[in-house]
Structures are given as structure tokens and as C-alpha cells.
């Protein structure tokens, strides 16, 4: 979803700031807020799911022998996260619409998006959207800011408490404990980035809500642009941070990039190097997913680096 935000929303925002015209018109006014709020929901519920996973890993009776989660279970969790986030963001489509304004200085007509439900909506839907607009600020703050931070902090505190009691009976420095600590640091890093990037928007929403009569339209546009910049920054940093902190995932990503760059040339030296790197990646990923391996697999000659 971060890539969708960068490749779809970022060009539209840049085009609007340069030309003062809305690319795709009213469609972009409705789709961009929908995608941006969905991005917050996907990150929020993903952090909550990761916190639950770390809690289960810490409280499992045989954590070191915990098998890899089935693909169907992972897909089901992803579906719940994505569908739930998009469902909660549907009011954004009905809340925004395109408006035009004439500049008093240059006389040019500029297009902008305004938060105003359409009067053509059915009465019941219009009342729901209006209620959502009035509660939007606190919904943002409670669900998309407080929930992931409090959830992650609570899971980390409980996990560290349980890990602290287990360390008294187990030897320290094992690969499993190092892997668990590394995973916890990854989740904490993702939460810190998310919290820092969403704090300005929540502060601006609260300030503007109580000072809206004294704030000019130019100031509101500037604050909105700053909030979007932090959102784009979060979407850019999060995948990089995940690839850097999650070593097996980063190694697999680099192997795929190197394979594509080399054009999959079938030479013997690269085959042996690829086999060795594949072995290291499999061993590291097995540690990462808490799945013990009795003995390393034999090195087989591969036809290509892929």
C-alpha cells in the first residue's frame, strides 16, 4: 500500500501544486483521501497484528519449535487488514468534492478539494457522512494514532516481562533469543516512524478544529501539504526500514535484484555462489520464523542464479 501511495498519490499532489489544477478532477479529490486514510488503517492494523504475533511467540510453550505459519492463515490476516482498512475509509469518498476559486491577484481559476458532503446524497447517507465529518478528528487520533502505539507498547512490555522471567531458567545468547529481540526491535522501529510521521497531522487537526475561524485558506492548504509530505515520507521510509532491519527479507530482496541485474547468466561460478547464498538465506529465514533445522540441506548445482 505504501508503493500505491507513492506511485499514485504523490504525482497527483505534485501536479496540483505546479499547475493548480486537479489531475483526474473530482475523481482524484475522492480517491486520494480514501487511499491515504486506508494507508493509515493498513499500517495501524498491521502493527497490531505484528504485536499479537510477538506476544504469541513469547507465550508459546515451545517457542523455539514453533512452525512456520500456513500461507492460508497469512492471506486471511492480510485480507482482514486490507478489507477492514478500506471499509473504514469509504466515508472519505463521499466526504470530499472538487471546488473552484478565483485568485483575487492574478484572476486565474484554481481547483481545490473541499471537505463537504454532496447534497445529492440520500438523507440517511448524508447524515452518516456528516456525523463522520464531525467525529473525524477524534477518530483519526484514537484509531490511527493512539491504537497502534498503545497496542505495540503494551505487547512489548508484556513480551519483555515474559522474556525476562524465562531468561532466569534458560541460557542467554541463543540464536532464538537474539532473533526474538531483533524482531521486537523491528516492530518498535516501525512504530516510532509511524508515530513521528502521524503526529503533525493529528496536532494540526486538533488546532484547526478549535481555531478554524481564525485560520486562512492559504494556511490550511499549507498544513495539508505538510501532512501529505509526512505521509509520503512514512511510505518511503517504512519499506526501506523493514528491508534493513529484517535481514532475511532484505537478503532475499537483494538476491532478486542481483538476479535481475545479472540477467540470470548460467555460469558455474555464479551457480555455486547462488547456491551458497540460498543456503544462508534459508538458514537465516528458518531462524527468523522460529523453525529449527536439524541439518543444512545439501548444496545442489543450480542452473541459474534464480
pLDDT in tens, 147-190: 989 888 888 888 777 766 655 555 444 666 677 777 778 888 88
Q: How far apart are CA 34 and CA 27, in angstroms?
A: 11
Asked if pLDDT for residue 269 goes beyond 50, the answer is no
Contact indicator for 89, 41 with CB cutoff of 8 Å: yes
Q: Looking up cell 540460498, which residue turns up? A: 278
- Residue 304: pLDDT band with limits 50, 70, 90: low
Q: Quick one: which of 39, 135, 131, 44 has its CA closest to 89?
A: 39
pLDDT of residue 272: 46
Q: Which residue from 285, 294, 289, 245 is spatially nearest to 63, judged by alpha carbons?
A: 289
Overall size of the chain counted in residues = 306
Look at residue 86 in the predicted model and tell me its pLDDT: 93
Confidence of residue 209 (pLDDT cuts 50, 70, 90): confident
The mean pLDDT value for 200-212 works out to 80
pLDDT in tens, 3-42: 888 888 888 888 888 877 777 777 888 888 899 999 999 9
What is the spatial distance between Cα 260 and Cα 262, in angstroms, rounded to a whole number?
6
CB burial class (10 A; 0-12, 13-18, 19+) of residue 282?
Answer: middle
Q: What are phi and psi of 109, to 5 degrees?
A: -90, 125
Grid coordinates representing 199? 503526529
Which CATH number fits the domain 1-61+68-260, given the four candidates 3.40.640.10, 3.40.190.10, 1.20.1070.10, 3.20.20.140? 1.20.1070.10
49-103 pLDDT per residue, tens: 888 887 777 776 655 555 677 888 889 989 999 999 999 999 988 888 887 777 6
Amino acid at each position: 500500500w505504501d508503493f500505491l501511495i507513492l506511485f499514485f498519490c504523490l504525482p497527483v499532489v505534485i501536479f496540483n501544486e505546479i499547475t493548480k489544477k486537479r489531475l483526474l478532477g473530482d475523481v482524484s479529490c475522492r480517491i486520494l483521501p480514501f487511499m491515504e486514510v486506508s494507508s493509515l488503517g493498513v499500517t495501524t492494523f498491521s502493527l497490531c497484528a505484528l504485536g499479537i504475533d510477538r506476544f504469541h511467540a513469547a507465550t508459546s510453550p515451545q517457542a523455539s519449535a514453533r512452525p512456520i505459519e500456513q500461507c492460508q492463515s497469512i492471506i486471511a490476516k492480510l485480507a482482514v487488514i486490507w478489507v477492514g482498512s478500506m471499509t473504514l475509509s469509504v466515508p472519505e469518498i463521499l466526504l470530499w468534492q472538487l471546488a473552484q476559486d478565483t485568485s483575487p491577484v492574478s484572476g486565474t481559476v484554481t481547483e481545490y478539494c473541499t471537505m463537504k458532503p454532496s447534497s445529492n446524497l440520500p438523507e440517511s447517507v448524508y447524515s452518516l457522512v456528516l456525523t463522520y465529518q464531525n467525529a473525524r478528528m477524534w477518530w483519526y487520533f484514537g484509531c490511527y494514532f493512539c491504537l497502534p502505539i498503545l497496542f505495540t507498547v503494551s505487547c512489548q512490555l508484556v513480551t519483555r516481562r515474559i522474556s525476562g522471567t524465562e531468561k532466569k531458567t534458560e541460557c542467554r545468547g541463543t540464536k532464538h533469543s537474539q532473533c526474538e529481540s531483533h524482531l521486537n526491535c523491528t516492530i518498535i522501529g516501525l512504530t516510532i516512524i509511524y508515530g513521528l510521521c502521524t503526529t503533525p497531522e493529528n496536532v494540526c487537526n486538533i488546532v484547526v478544529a478549535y481555531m478554524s475561524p481564525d485560520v486562512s485558506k492559504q494556511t490550511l492548504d499549507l498544513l495539508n501539504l505538510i501532512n501529505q509530505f509526512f505521509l509520503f515520507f512514512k511510505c518511503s521510509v517504512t519499506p526501506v526500514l523493514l528491508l534493513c532491519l529484517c535481514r532475511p527479507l532484505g537478503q532475499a530482496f537483494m538476491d532478486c535484484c542481483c538476479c535481475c541485474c545479472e540477467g540470470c547468466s548460467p555460469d558455474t561460478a555464479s551457480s555455486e555462489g547462488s547456491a551458497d547464498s540460498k543456503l544462508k538465506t534459508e538458514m537465516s529465514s528458518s531462524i527468523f520464523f522460529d523453525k529449527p533445522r536439524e541439518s543444512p540441506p545439501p548444496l545442489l548445482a543450480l542452473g541459474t542464479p534464480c
